[in-house]
């Protein structure tokens, strides 16, 4: 029997996890949710193409009328710099002009600043890295390692 391939991401650096999403409240009201939906791909493309911005990785998920994107950043300053930059500010302004007062779309974001040593991750038999393992270089971990051993500051 082959042992499961088990990897982890290092937890020796602070990381910022930014979760942003939308909910299509009225699927027929494309004027409300269309601008929000179409604003994200250009921002993600820009973030993915520019190195040295502090942006590490993103993953997107769709569940019914909910779209959620999880982003990983090196630090809060890098996230703030992007949020106040031209690309994001233009998208945000368009959103407020076209959809903010509409009941056709809901929007949210959450930001977590996570200190080094206070997070852990395990990935077993994944075809490609995801989450923190995609944001950082993953490494093989022992099959008998425990969360208690991996969490150093908790």
Q: How does pLDDT run across 120-138, given as a tens digit for each residue? A: 888 888 888 889 988 987 7
Which stretch of DSSP H or E encloses residue 121?
none
Share of the chain above pLDDT 70, in %: 84
pLDDT digits 0-9 by tens, 41-80: 888 998 999 889 999 999 999 999 999 999 999 999 999 9
Q: What is the DSSP letter of 55?
A: E
Check the CA dihedral 88-93-99-101 and report its sign: positive
Are 19 and 69 spatial neighbours (Cβ–Cβ below 8 Å)?
A: yes
Distance CA 141, CA 11 (A): 13
Distance CA 84, CA 7 (A): 35
Question: What are the structural domains of the chain?
Answer: 15-114 (3.30.70.100)
Distance CA 116, CA 13 (A): 4
pLDDT digits 0-9 by tens, 83-119: 998 877 877 777 776 666 678 888 899 999 999 989 8
Confidence of residue 1 (pLDDT cuts 50, 70, 90): very low
User: ∠ CA 13-17-21 to the nearest 5 degrees?
Assistant: 170
Confidence of residue 151 (pLDDT cuts 50, 70, 90): low
């Amino acid at each position: 029997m082959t042992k499961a391939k088990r990897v982890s991401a290092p937890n020796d650096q602070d990381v910022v996890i930014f979760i942003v999403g939308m909910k299509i409240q009225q699927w027929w009201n494309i004027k409300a949710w269309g601008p929000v939906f179409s604003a994200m791909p250009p921002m993600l493309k820009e973030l993915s193409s520019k190195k040295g911005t502090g942006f590490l990785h993103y993953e997107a998920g769709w569940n019914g009328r909910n779209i959620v994107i999880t982003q990983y950043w090196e630090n809060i300053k890098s996230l703030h710099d992007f949020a106040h930059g031209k690309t994001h500010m233009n998208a945000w302004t368009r959103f407020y002009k076209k959809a903010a007062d509409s009941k056709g779309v809901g929007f949210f974001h959450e930001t977590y600043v996570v200190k080094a040593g206070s997070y852990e991750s395990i990935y077993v038999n994944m075809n490609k890295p995801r989450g923190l393992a995609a944001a950082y270089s993953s490494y093989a971990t022992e099959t008998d390692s425990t969360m208690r051993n991996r969490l150093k500051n908790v």
